[in-house]
Chains A and B, each alone.
Chain A
Protein backbone atom coordinates (compact mmCIF):
# COMPACT_ATOMS: atom_id res chain seq x y z
CA UNK A 1 0.00 0.00 0.00
CA UNK A 2 1.38 3.35 -0.98
CA UNK A 3 1.76 5.56 2.02
CA UNK A 4 0.89 9.17 1.60
CA UNK A 5 3.82 11.44 1.02
CA UNK A 6 4.64 14.01 3.65
CA UNK A 7 5.06 13.34 7.35
CA UNK A 8 3.69 10.41 9.38
CA UNK A 9 2.73 10.17 13.08
CA UNK A 10 6.28 9.67 14.33
CA UNK A 11 7.45 12.76 12.52
CA UNK A 12 9.23 10.79 9.81
CA UNK A 13 9.40 12.23 6.36
CA UNK A 14 8.22 10.12 3.44
CA UNK A 15 9.78 11.07 0.13
CA UNK A 16 10.10 9.75 -3.41
CA UNK A 17 13.36 8.87 -5.05
CA UNK A 18 12.54 8.45 -8.71
CA UNK A 19 10.95 7.43 -11.02
CA UNK A 20 12.92 10.24 -12.66
CA UNK A 21 16.13 10.30 -10.70
CA UNK A 22 19.56 10.08 -12.35
CA UNK A 23 21.09 7.68 -9.85
CA UNK A 24 18.35 5.06 -10.17
CA UNK A 25 19.60 4.40 -13.74
CA UNK A 26 16.12 4.21 -15.12
CA UNK A 27 12.56 4.44 -13.89
CA UNK A 28 12.91 2.87 -10.46
CA UNK A 29 10.61 4.44 -7.91
CA UNK A 30 11.62 4.23 -4.27
CA UNK A 31 9.39 5.49 -1.47
CA UNK A 32 11.70 6.25 1.43
CA UNK A 33 10.82 6.89 5.05
CA UNK A 34 13.39 9.21 6.54
CA UNK A 35 14.07 10.08 10.15
CA UNK A 36 16.18 13.18 9.76
CA UNK A 37 18.75 11.93 7.31
CA UNK A 38 18.57 8.29 8.42
CA UNK A 39 16.72 5.86 6.22
CA UNK A 40 14.04 3.91 8.11
CA UNK A 41 12.38 2.11 5.24
CA UNK A 42 12.88 1.70 1.51
CA UNK A 43 9.97 0.53 -0.56
CA UNK A 44 10.57 -0.05 -4.29
CA UNK A 45 7.60 0.51 -6.59
CA UNK A 46 7.93 -1.25 -9.90
CA UNK A 47 6.04 -1.29 -13.14
CA UNK A 48 7.12 1.89 -14.89
CA UNK A 49 8.90 0.00 -17.66
CA UNK A 50 6.87 -3.18 -17.69
CA UNK A 51 6.52 -4.41 -21.28
CA UNK A 52 5.00 -7.81 -20.50
CA UNK A 53 7.84 -9.65 -22.17
CA UNK A 54 6.77 -12.98 -20.65
CA UNK A 55 3.22 -12.70 -21.99
CA UNK A 56 4.47 -11.40 -25.34
CA UNK A 57 6.76 -14.39 -25.74
CA UNK A 58 3.77 -16.74 -25.62
CA UNK A 59 2.71 -15.58 -29.07
CA UNK A 60 6.21 -15.67 -30.57
CA UNK A 61 7.90 -18.70 -32.06
CA UNK A 62 11.01 -20.28 -30.55
CA UNK A 63 13.20 -18.42 -33.02
CA UNK A 64 11.53 -15.08 -32.37
CA UNK A 65 11.16 -14.91 -28.60
CA UNK A 66 14.82 -14.54 -27.70
CA UNK A 67 15.29 -11.16 -29.42
CA UNK A 68 13.07 -9.57 -26.75
CA UNK A 69 15.39 -10.71 -23.98
CA UNK A 70 18.07 -8.37 -25.33
CA UNK A 71 15.77 -5.64 -24.05
CA UNK A 72 15.59 -7.06 -20.53
CA UNK A 73 19.09 -6.69 -19.21
CA UNK A 74 20.35 -4.60 -22.09
CA UNK A 75 23.92 -4.55 -20.78
CA UNK A 76 24.29 -8.32 -20.98
CA UNK A 77 22.09 -9.00 -23.97
CA UNK A 78 24.36 -11.73 -25.35
CA UNK A 79 24.06 -13.67 -22.12
CA UNK A 80 20.28 -13.32 -22.08
CA UNK A 81 20.05 -14.63 -25.64
CA UNK A 82 22.39 -17.41 -24.59
CA UNK A 83 20.05 -18.47 -21.79
CA UNK A 84 17.08 -18.63 -24.18
CA UNK A 85 19.09 -20.54 -26.77
CA UNK A 86 20.21 -23.04 -24.10
CA UNK A 87 16.63 -23.67 -22.97
CA UNK A 88 15.41 -24.28 -26.53
CA UNK A 89 18.40 -26.49 -27.29
CA UNK A 90 17.68 -28.51 -24.17
CA UNK A 91 14.20 -29.12 -25.50
CA UNK A 92 15.37 -30.04 -28.98
CA UNK A 93 18.33 -32.04 -27.61
CA UNK A 94 20.66 -30.31 -30.03
CA UNK A 95 24.40 -30.73 -30.10
CA UNK A 96 26.04 -27.36 -30.66
CA UNK A 97 29.13 -27.21 -32.91
CA UNK A 98 32.39 -26.50 -31.10
CA UNK A 99 33.05 -23.31 -32.99
CA UNK A 100 29.70 -21.86 -31.95
CA UNK A 101 30.38 -22.75 -28.31
CA UNK A 102 33.72 -20.96 -28.37
CA UNK A 103 32.21 -17.89 -29.99
CA UNK A 104 29.38 -17.83 -27.46
CA UNK A 105 31.64 -18.01 -24.43
CA UNK A 106 34.06 -15.37 -25.75
CA UNK A 107 31.22 -12.98 -26.51
CA UNK A 108 29.60 -13.66 -23.13
CA UNK A 109 32.78 -12.71 -21.34
CA UNK A 110 33.30 -9.63 -23.51
CA UNK A 111 29.76 -8.59 -22.61
CA UNK A 112 30.52 -9.10 -18.94
CA UNK A 113 33.58 -6.87 -19.15
CA UNK A 114 31.66 -4.19 -21.04
CA UNK A 115 28.84 -4.30 -18.50
CA UNK A 116 31.20 -4.03 -15.53
CA UNK A 117 33.02 -1.15 -17.21
CA UNK A 118 29.80 0.77 -17.63
CA UNK A 119 28.83 -0.03 -14.05
CA UNK A 120 32.19 1.24 -12.81
CA UNK A 121 31.81 4.55 -14.61
CA UNK A 122 28.21 4.97 -13.54
CA UNK A 123 28.95 4.13 -9.91
CA UNK A 124 31.70 6.70 -9.74
CA UNK A 125 29.33 9.20 -11.31
CA UNK A 126 26.67 8.42 -8.69
CA UNK A 127 29.23 9.11 -5.98
CA UNK A 128 30.18 12.43 -7.49
CA UNK A 129 33.23 11.65 -9.64
CA UNK A 130 32.58 12.54 -13.23
CA UNK A 131 35.79 11.68 -15.11
CA UNK A 132 35.88 7.89 -14.51
CA UNK A 133 32.86 7.62 -16.78
CA UNK A 134 34.95 8.71 -19.75
CA UNK A 135 37.80 6.35 -18.95
CA UNK A 136 35.48 3.37 -18.74
CA UNK A 137 33.69 4.29 -21.95
CA UNK A 138 37.01 4.62 -23.75
CA UNK A 139 37.68 0.89 -23.28
CA UNK A 140 34.04 -0.12 -23.59
CA UNK A 141 33.97 1.48 -27.03
CA UNK A 142 36.57 -1.06 -28.21
CA UNK A 143 34.27 -3.92 -27.19
CA UNK A 144 31.34 -2.21 -28.85
CA UNK A 145 33.31 -2.00 -32.08
CA UNK A 146 34.05 -5.71 -31.93
CA UNK A 147 30.35 -6.40 -31.35
CA UNK A 148 29.34 -4.12 -34.20
CA UNK A 149 31.68 -5.82 -36.63
CA UNK A 150 30.74 -9.37 -35.72
CA UNK A 151 27.13 -9.13 -34.57
CA UNK A 152 25.87 -6.09 -36.47
CA UNK A 153 24.66 -4.17 -33.44
CA UNK A 154 26.18 -2.51 -30.43
CA UNK A 155 23.72 -3.25 -27.66
CA UNK A 156 20.77 -5.43 -28.69
CA UNK A 157 22.61 -8.01 -30.74
CA UNK A 158 20.28 -10.99 -31.18
CA UNK A 159 23.38 -12.88 -32.28
CA UNK A 160 23.10 -16.09 -30.28
CA UNK A 161 20.19 -18.04 -31.80
CA UNK A 162 18.89 -21.54 -31.02
CA UNK A 163 21.33 -23.94 -32.65
CA UNK A 164 24.41 -21.76 -32.69
CA UNK A 165 25.20 -18.20 -33.67
CA UNK A 166 23.79 -16.06 -36.45
CA UNK A 167 26.90 -15.21 -38.50
CA UNK A 168 30.46 -16.39 -38.57
CA UNK A 169 33.08 -14.26 -36.86
CA UNK A 170 34.40 -11.20 -38.62
CA UNK A 171 37.92 -11.84 -40.01
CA UNK A 172 39.33 -9.13 -37.75
CA UNK A 173 37.68 -10.52 -34.61
CA UNK A 174 40.68 -12.25 -33.05
CA UNK A 175 43.01 -9.36 -33.83
CA UNK A 176 40.63 -6.79 -32.37
CA UNK A 177 39.92 -8.80 -29.23
CA UNK A 178 43.63 -9.30 -28.59
CA UNK A 179 44.19 -5.61 -29.12
CA UNK A 180 41.46 -4.87 -26.59
CA UNK A 181 42.91 -7.31 -24.04
CA UNK A 182 46.37 -5.77 -24.34
CA UNK A 183 44.92 -2.26 -24.11
CA UNK A 184 42.68 -3.02 -21.15
CA UNK A 185 45.46 -4.83 -19.28
CA UNK A 186 47.67 -1.79 -19.61
CA UNK A 187 44.84 0.54 -18.52
CA UNK A 188 43.14 -1.34 -15.67
CA UNK A 189 45.60 0.12 -13.14
CA UNK A 190 44.05 3.49 -13.94
CA UNK A 191 40.72 2.22 -12.61
CA UNK A 192 42.37 1.45 -9.29
CA UNK A 193 44.32 4.69 -9.19
CA UNK A 194 41.31 6.85 -9.96
CA UNK A 195 38.61 5.22 -7.86
CA UNK A 196 39.59 2.17 -5.81
CA UNK A 197 42.41 3.85 -3.92
CA UNK A 198 40.62 7.15 -3.56
CA UNK A 199 39.94 8.01 0.07
CA UNK A 200 36.65 9.76 -0.62
CA UNK A 201 35.38 6.72 -2.50
CA UNK A 202 36.55 4.32 0.22
CA UNK A 203 34.90 6.35 2.96
CA UNK A 204 31.65 6.39 1.02
CA UNK A 205 31.59 2.63 0.36
CA UNK A 206 33.36 0.84 3.23
CA UNK A 207 30.83 -0.37 5.78
CA UNK A 208 27.96 1.01 3.72
CA UNK A 209 25.02 -1.12 2.65
CA UNK A 210 26.05 -4.15 4.67
CA UNK A 211 24.25 -7.45 4.16
CA UNK A 212 25.22 -10.70 5.83
CA UNK A 213 25.77 -13.94 3.95
CA UNK A 214 22.63 -15.50 5.48
CA UNK A 215 20.46 -12.58 4.44
CA UNK A 216 22.00 -12.49 0.97
CA UNK A 217 21.07 -16.13 0.50
CA UNK A 218 17.58 -15.72 1.88
CA UNK A 219 16.87 -12.76 -0.40
CA UNK A 220 18.16 -14.78 -3.36
CA UNK A 221 20.97 -12.40 -4.19
CA UNK A 222 23.21 -13.76 -6.89
CA UNK A 223 26.03 -12.56 -9.04
CA UNK A 224 28.70 -10.12 -7.86
CA UNK A 225 26.25 -8.65 -5.32
CA UNK A 226 25.80 -12.04 -3.66
CA UNK A 227 29.48 -12.92 -3.94
CA UNK A 228 30.34 -9.67 -2.18
CA UNK A 229 28.82 -11.24 0.95
CA UNK A 230 30.84 -14.42 0.57
CA UNK A 231 28.03 -16.45 -1.02
CA UNK A 232 29.51 -18.77 -3.65
CA UNK A 233 26.83 -18.58 -6.33
CA UNK A 234 28.62 -18.47 -9.68
CA UNK A 235 26.51 -20.53 -12.09
CA UNK A 236 29.55 -20.96 -14.30
CA UNK A 237 31.16 -22.98 -11.49
CA UNK A 238 28.13 -24.62 -9.89
CA UNK A 239 26.23 -25.68 -13.01
CA UNK A 240 28.72 -25.32 -15.87
CA UNK A 241 27.22 -24.78 -19.28
CA UNK A 242 28.99 -24.76 -22.67
CA UNK A 243 32.75 -24.74 -22.11
CA UNK A 244 32.95 -23.42 -18.59
CA UNK A 245 33.82 -26.79 -17.04
CA UNK A 246 36.97 -26.98 -19.16
CA UNK A 247 38.14 -23.49 -18.35
CA UNK A 248 40.43 -22.36 -15.60
CA UNK A 249 39.11 -19.37 -13.72
CA UNK A 250 38.57 -18.29 -10.15
CA UNK A 251 35.24 -17.65 -8.55
CA UNK A 252 35.67 -14.25 -6.94
CA UNK A 253 34.19 -13.84 -3.49
CA UNK A 254 34.72 -11.15 -0.88
CA UNK A 255 33.77 -11.48 2.76
CA UNK A 256 33.02 -7.82 3.47
CA UNK A 257 29.35 -7.77 2.54
CA UNK A 258 29.43 -4.01 2.12
CA UNK A 259 29.44 -1.80 -0.96
CA UNK A 260 33.22 -1.87 -1.21
CA UNK A 261 33.28 -5.68 -1.24
CA UNK A 262 30.76 -5.79 -4.06
CA UNK A 263 32.86 -3.21 -5.88
CA UNK A 264 36.02 -5.30 -5.52
CA UNK A 265 34.25 -8.44 -6.75
CA UNK A 266 33.38 -6.75 -10.03
CA UNK A 267 36.81 -5.22 -10.51
CA UNK A 268 38.46 -8.59 -9.96
CA UNK A 269 35.88 -10.34 -12.12
CA UNK A 270 36.91 -8.27 -15.12
CA UNK A 271 40.41 -9.73 -14.81
CA UNK A 272 38.98 -13.26 -14.63
CA UNK A 273 36.89 -12.62 -17.75
CA UNK A 274 40.00 -11.49 -19.60
CA UNK A 275 41.70 -14.65 -18.40
CA UNK A 276 38.87 -16.76 -19.86
CA UNK A 277 38.99 -14.97 -23.21
CA UNK A 278 42.75 -15.46 -23.39
CA UNK A 279 42.34 -19.19 -22.96
CA UNK A 280 39.86 -19.39 -25.83
CA UNK A 281 40.78 -16.75 -28.36
CA UNK A 282 43.66 -18.64 -29.99
CA UNK A 283 41.96 -22.04 -30.08
CA UNK A 284 38.67 -21.30 -31.85
CA UNK A 285 38.08 -24.50 -33.85
CA UNK A 286 37.03 -24.45 -37.49
CA UNK A 287 33.66 -25.82 -38.45
CA UNK A 288 29.98 -25.01 -38.59
CA UNK A 289 28.48 -22.15 -36.65
CA UNK A 290 24.97 -23.61 -36.47
CA UNK A 291 23.60 -27.05 -35.81
CA UNK A 292 21.15 -28.30 -38.41
CA UNK A 293 17.64 -27.35 -37.35
CA UNK A 294 14.27 -27.38 -39.01
CA UNK A 295 12.84 -24.15 -40.37
CA UNK A 296 10.07 -24.21 -37.75
CA UNK A 297 11.18 -25.27 -34.28
CA UNK A 298 8.82 -27.43 -32.25
CA UNK A 299 9.65 -28.31 -28.67
CA UNK A 300 8.33 -31.58 -27.26
CA UNK A 301 5.74 -31.45 -24.49
CA UNK A 302 7.31 -30.71 -21.15
CA UNK A 303 9.21 -28.03 -19.30
CA UNK A 304 12.78 -26.87 -19.79
CA UNK A 305 14.95 -24.76 -17.55
CA UNK A 306 18.29 -23.19 -18.25
CA UNK A 307 20.40 -20.94 -16.08
CA UNK A 308 23.32 -18.73 -16.94
CA UNK A 309 25.47 -16.23 -15.12
CA UNK A 310 24.82 -12.76 -16.48
CA UNK A 311 26.82 -9.75 -15.44
CA UNK A 312 24.28 -9.23 -12.63
CA UNK A 313 23.66 -12.73 -11.40
CA UNK A 314 21.75 -15.83 -12.22
CA UNK A 315 19.26 -15.63 -15.06
CA UNK A 316 16.86 -18.54 -15.32
CA UNK A 317 14.66 -19.24 -18.33
CA UNK A 318 11.77 -21.59 -17.72
CA UNK A 319 9.80 -22.73 -20.77
CA UNK A 320 6.65 -24.81 -20.61
CA UNK A 321 5.85 -26.35 -23.95
CA UNK A 322 2.63 -27.99 -25.08
CA UNK A 323 4.32 -29.41 -28.16
CA UNK A 324 3.49 -26.53 -30.46
CA UNK A 325 5.52 -23.89 -32.23
CA UNK A 326 5.06 -21.29 -29.49
CA UNK A 327 5.73 -21.68 -25.78
CA UNK A 328 2.77 -22.15 -23.44
CA UNK A 329 4.42 -20.10 -20.72
CA UNK A 330 7.80 -18.49 -20.25
CA UNK A 331 9.15 -17.34 -16.92
CA UNK A 332 12.35 -15.40 -16.48
CA UNK A 333 14.10 -15.45 -13.14
CA UNK A 334 15.93 -12.18 -13.44
CA UNK A 335 18.85 -11.37 -11.16
CA UNK A 336 17.99 -7.68 -10.75
CA UNK A 337 14.62 -8.35 -9.14
CA UNK A 338 16.05 -10.53 -6.36
CA UNK A 339 18.95 -8.18 -5.79
CA UNK A 340 16.60 -5.22 -5.48
CA UNK A 341 14.53 -7.01 -2.84
CA UNK A 342 17.52 -6.88 -0.50
CA UNK A 343 17.81 -3.11 -0.83
CA UNK A 344 15.57 -2.38 2.17
CA UNK A 345 17.69 -4.60 4.40
CA UNK A 346 20.87 -2.91 3.24
CA UNK A 347 19.77 0.68 3.37
CA UNK A 348 17.90 0.79 6.70
CA UNK A 349 19.93 2.56 9.35
CA UNK A 350 22.15 4.24 6.81
CA UNK A 351 22.09 7.78 5.54
CA UNK A 352 20.23 8.92 2.45
CA UNK A 353 23.50 9.67 0.67
CA UNK A 354 24.70 6.12 1.30
CA UNK A 355 21.61 4.76 -0.44
CA UNK A 356 23.14 5.85 -3.76
CA UNK A 357 26.31 3.88 -3.05
CA UNK A 358 24.25 0.83 -2.07
CA UNK A 359 22.10 1.05 -5.17
CA UNK A 360 25.11 1.68 -7.38
CA UNK A 361 26.94 -1.41 -6.17
CA UNK A 362 23.83 -3.56 -6.61
CA UNK A 363 24.19 -2.74 -10.32
CA UNK A 364 20.48 -2.49 -11.01
CA UNK A 365 19.17 -2.47 -14.55
CA UNK A 366 15.51 -1.49 -14.34
CA UNK A 367 14.19 -3.13 -17.54
CA UNK A 368 15.57 -6.38 -16.14
CA UNK A 369 13.58 -5.95 -12.93
CA UNK A 370 10.29 -5.09 -14.59
CA UNK A 371 10.54 -7.09 -17.84
Chain B
Protein backbone atom coordinates (compact mmCIF):
# COMPACT_ATOMS: atom_id res chain seq x y z
CA UNK B 1 0.00 0.00 0.00
CA UNK B 2 2.77 2.41 0.92
CA UNK B 3 4.75 1.43 -2.17
CA UNK B 4 1.73 1.95 -4.38
CA UNK B 5 1.23 5.46 -2.99
CA UNK B 6 4.92 6.17 -3.36
CA UNK B 7 5.08 5.24 -7.01
CA UNK B 8 1.83 7.07 -7.72
CA UNK B 9 3.32 10.27 -6.31
CA UNK B 10 6.51 9.79 -8.32
CA UNK B 11 4.48 9.27 -11.49
CA UNK B 12 2.30 12.33 -10.82
CA UNK B 13 5.32 14.51 -10.11
CA UNK B 14 7.16 13.52 -13.23
CA UNK B 15 4.10 13.82 -15.47
CA UNK B 16 3.19 17.27 -14.13
CA UNK B 17 6.74 18.51 -14.57
CA UNK B 18 6.82 17.10 -18.10
CA UNK B 19 3.55 18.89 -18.92
CA UNK B 20 5.15 22.19 -18.00
CA UNK B 21 8.39 21.35 -19.74
CA UNK B 22 6.51 20.42 -22.91
CA UNK B 23 5.05 23.92 -23.04
CA UNK B 24 8.43 25.49 -22.43
CA UNK B 25 9.90 23.25 -25.11
CA UNK B 26 7.17 24.26 -27.54
CA UNK B 27 8.04 27.93 -27.22
CA UNK B 28 11.75 27.13 -27.29
CA UNK B 29 11.41 25.49 -30.70
CA UNK B 30 8.70 27.82 -32.10
CA UNK B 31 10.47 31.14 -31.97
CA UNK B 32 8.35 32.90 -34.58
CA UNK B 33 6.26 34.57 -31.87
CA UNK B 34 8.82 37.09 -30.68
CA UNK B 35 7.10 39.62 -28.46
CA UNK B 36 10.12 41.45 -27.06
CA UNK B 37 10.51 45.01 -28.30
CA UNK B 38 14.12 46.07 -28.81
CA UNK B 39 13.40 49.44 -27.25
CA UNK B 40 16.34 51.82 -27.61
CA UNK B 41 17.16 50.54 -31.11
CA UNK B 42 13.60 50.57 -32.44
CA UNK B 43 11.20 53.15 -31.08
CA UNK B 44 7.87 51.77 -29.87
CA UNK B 45 4.77 52.52 -31.91
CA UNK B 46 2.79 54.59 -29.42
CA UNK B 47 -0.92 55.12 -29.58
CA UNK B 48 -2.18 58.47 -30.82
CA UNK B 49 -3.75 59.29 -27.46
CA UNK B 50 -0.70 58.34 -25.39
CA UNK B 51 -0.07 61.11 -22.88
CA UNK B 52 3.60 62.03 -22.67
CA UNK B 53 3.73 65.76 -21.99
CA UNK B 54 1.71 68.92 -22.52
CA UNK B 55 2.62 70.96 -25.58
CA UNK B 56 1.21 74.10 -27.17
CA UNK B 57 0.97 73.74 -30.94
CA UNK B 58 2.05 76.75 -33.02
CA UNK B 59 1.25 77.27 -36.69
CA UNK B 60 3.70 78.31 -39.44
CA UNK B 61 3.44 82.01 -38.60
CA UNK B 62 4.32 81.36 -34.94
CA UNK B 63 0.80 81.75 -33.62
CA UNK B 64 -0.88 79.80 -30.82
CA UNK B 65 -4.45 79.59 -29.57
CA UNK B 66 -3.94 80.41 -25.88
CA UNK B 67 -5.96 83.34 -24.56
CA UNK B 68 -4.52 83.23 -21.06
CA UNK B 69 -7.84 82.42 -19.35
CA UNK B 70 -6.05 80.23 -16.72
CA UNK B 71 -8.68 77.49 -16.94
CA UNK B 72 -5.90 74.92 -17.21
CA UNK B 73 -4.08 76.40 -14.22
CA UNK B 74 -7.22 76.00 -12.13
CA UNK B 75 -7.90 72.49 -13.40
CA UNK B 76 -4.42 71.20 -12.63
CA UNK B 77 -4.32 69.24 -9.36
CA UNK B 78 -0.55 69.62 -8.86
CA UNK B 79 0.21 73.24 -9.67
CA UNK B 80 2.05 72.21 -12.81
CA UNK B 81 0.95 75.17 -14.91
CA UNK B 82 1.61 78.83 -14.20
CA UNK B 83 0.40 81.49 -16.62
CA UNK B 84 1.84 84.99 -16.57
CA UNK B 85 -0.29 87.46 -18.52
CA UNK B 86 0.47 90.91 -19.91
CA UNK B 87 -1.55 93.66 -21.50
CA UNK B 88 -1.03 94.09 -25.19
CA UNK B 89 -2.21 97.00 -27.34
CA UNK B 90 -3.74 95.69 -30.52
CA UNK B 91 -4.11 97.33 -33.95
CA UNK B 92 -7.17 99.37 -32.92
CA UNK B 93 -5.33 100.81 -29.96
CA UNK B 94 -7.29 98.79 -27.40
CA UNK B 95 -5.75 97.01 -24.46
CA UNK B 96 -6.03 93.24 -24.61
CA UNK B 97 -4.90 90.55 -22.21
CA UNK B 98 -2.42 88.08 -23.66
CA UNK B 99 -0.04 85.50 -22.26
CA UNK B 100 3.49 86.48 -21.49
CA UNK B 101 4.81 83.09 -20.45
CA UNK B 102 3.09 79.73 -20.14
CA UNK B 103 5.23 77.91 -17.58
CA UNK B 104 4.89 74.15 -17.54
CA UNK B 105 6.74 72.16 -14.88
CA UNK B 106 7.12 68.68 -16.24
CA UNK B 107 8.49 67.26 -12.99
CA UNK B 108 5.18 67.93 -11.25
CA UNK B 109 2.96 66.68 -14.06
CA UNK B 110 1.07 63.40 -13.71
CA UNK B 111 -0.37 63.39 -17.26
CA UNK B 112 -3.95 63.31 -16.01
CA UNK B 113 -5.23 65.25 -19.04
CA UNK B 114 -7.44 67.53 -16.93
CA UNK B 115 -5.85 70.74 -18.30
CA UNK B 116 -6.42 69.68 -21.91
CA UNK B 117 -10.05 68.88 -21.09
CA UNK B 118 -10.50 72.23 -19.37
CA UNK B 119 -9.06 74.37 -22.17
CA UNK B 120 -11.91 76.19 -23.97
CA UNK B 121 -9.85 77.12 -27.03
CA UNK B 122 -7.89 73.87 -27.61
CA UNK B 123 -4.59 75.67 -27.10
CA UNK B 124 -2.77 72.79 -25.40
CA UNK B 125 -2.61 69.13 -26.31
CA UNK B 126 -0.82 66.03 -25.05
CA UNK B 127 2.10 64.84 -27.13
CA UNK B 128 3.60 61.37 -27.45
CA UNK B 129 7.12 62.30 -26.35
CA UNK B 130 8.04 60.21 -23.32
CA UNK B 131 11.84 60.30 -23.06
CA UNK B 132 12.07 63.11 -20.56
CA UNK B 133 15.24 62.29 -18.66
CA UNK B 134 17.65 65.19 -18.24
CA UNK B 135 20.74 65.77 -16.12
CA UNK B 136 19.47 68.95 -14.49
CA UNK B 137 16.12 69.34 -12.81
CA UNK B 138 15.81 72.95 -13.97
CA UNK B 139 15.56 71.80 -17.57
CA UNK B 140 12.18 70.27 -16.77
CA UNK B 141 10.60 73.69 -16.24
CA UNK B 142 9.50 74.65 -19.72
CA UNK B 143 7.94 77.68 -21.34
CA UNK B 144 5.39 76.40 -23.81
CA UNK B 145 4.75 79.52 -25.88
CA UNK B 146 7.58 80.10 -28.32
CA UNK B 147 9.46 83.43 -28.18
CA UNK B 148 7.77 86.13 -30.23
CA UNK B 149 4.60 84.11 -30.69
CA UNK B 150 1.19 85.73 -30.88
CA UNK B 151 -2.38 84.62 -30.43
CA UNK B 152 -4.08 83.32 -33.54
CA UNK B 153 -6.61 85.54 -35.32
CA UNK B 154 -10.18 84.84 -34.34
CA UNK B 155 -9.50 83.01 -31.07
CA UNK B 156 -11.29 84.66 -28.20
Contact = CB atoms under 8 A, between A and B. Distances in A.
Contacts of A152: 47, 49-51, 111, 113, 126
B91 interface: no
Contact of A194 (B20, B75, B110, B117): B20
Contacts of A138: 35
B20 A193 contact: yes
B114 A64 contact: yes
B113 A158 contact: yes
Interface string A149-184: 111110010100000001100100000000000000
Given A197-B16, A198-B16, A64 B75 contact: yes
A41 interface: no
Given A148-B47, A151-B49, A63 B17 contact: no
Contacts of A190: 23
A80 to B, nearest CB: 13
A153 B20 contact: no
A238 interface: no
B3 interface: no
Given A131-B24, A148-B47, A149-B47, A63 B75 contact: yes
B67 to A, nearest CB: 16
Nearest to B46: A148
A288 interface: no
Contact of A198 (B20, B50, B77, B114): B20
Interface string B22-65: 11100000000001000000000011111100000000000000
A60 interface: yes
Nearest to B37: A141
A67 B110 contact: yes
Of B12, B19, B114, B117, the most chain A CB neighbours within 10 A belong to B114
B46 to A, nearest CB: 7
Contacts of B51: 152-153
Contacts of B48: 149
B13 A199 contact: yes
Contact of B23 (A145, A148, A149, A193): A193
A68 interface: yes
Contacts, number: 65
A193 B35 contact: no
B112 interface: yes
A34 B154 CA distance: 74
Interface in A19-69: 60, 63-65, 67-68
Given A152-B51, A193-B19, A67 B112 contact: yes
Nearest to A137: B35
A241 to B, nearest CB: 24
Of A64, A152, A153, A198, the most chain B CB neighbours within 10 A belong to A152
A63 B74 CA distance: 11
Given A141-B35, A193-B20, A199-B13, A64 B77 contact: yes
A284 B141 CA distance: 42
A138 B37 CA distance: 12
A67 B50 CA distance: 16
Contacts of B113: 152, 158, 166
B124 to A, nearest CB: 14
A72 B113 CA distance: 18
A60 B114 CA distance: 13
B114 A153 contact: no
Of B16, B51, B112, B113, the most chain A CB neighbours within 10 A belong to B112
A156 B19 contact: no
Nearest to B117: A166
B47 to A, nearest CB: 4
B112 A198 contact: no
A228 B67 CA distance: 57
A151 B49 CA distance: 7
A197 B19 contact: yes
Interface string A120-164: 000000000001000000100100010011111100101000000
B49 A170 contact: yes
A124 B111 CA distance: 33
B126 A67 contact: no
Contacts of B13: 199
Nearest to B49: A152
Interface in B53-100: 75, 77
8 contacts: A63-B75, A65-B77, A150-B49, A151-B49, A156-B111, A158-B113, A194-B23, A199-B12
Given A166-B113, A193-B19, 11 more contacts: A67-B110, A141-B35, A152-B51, A152-B113, A158-B112, A166-B117, A194-B20, A195-B20, A198-B16, A198-B17, A199-B17
Interface of B: 12-13, 16-17, 19-20, 22-24, 35, 46-51, 75, 77, 110-114, 117, 126
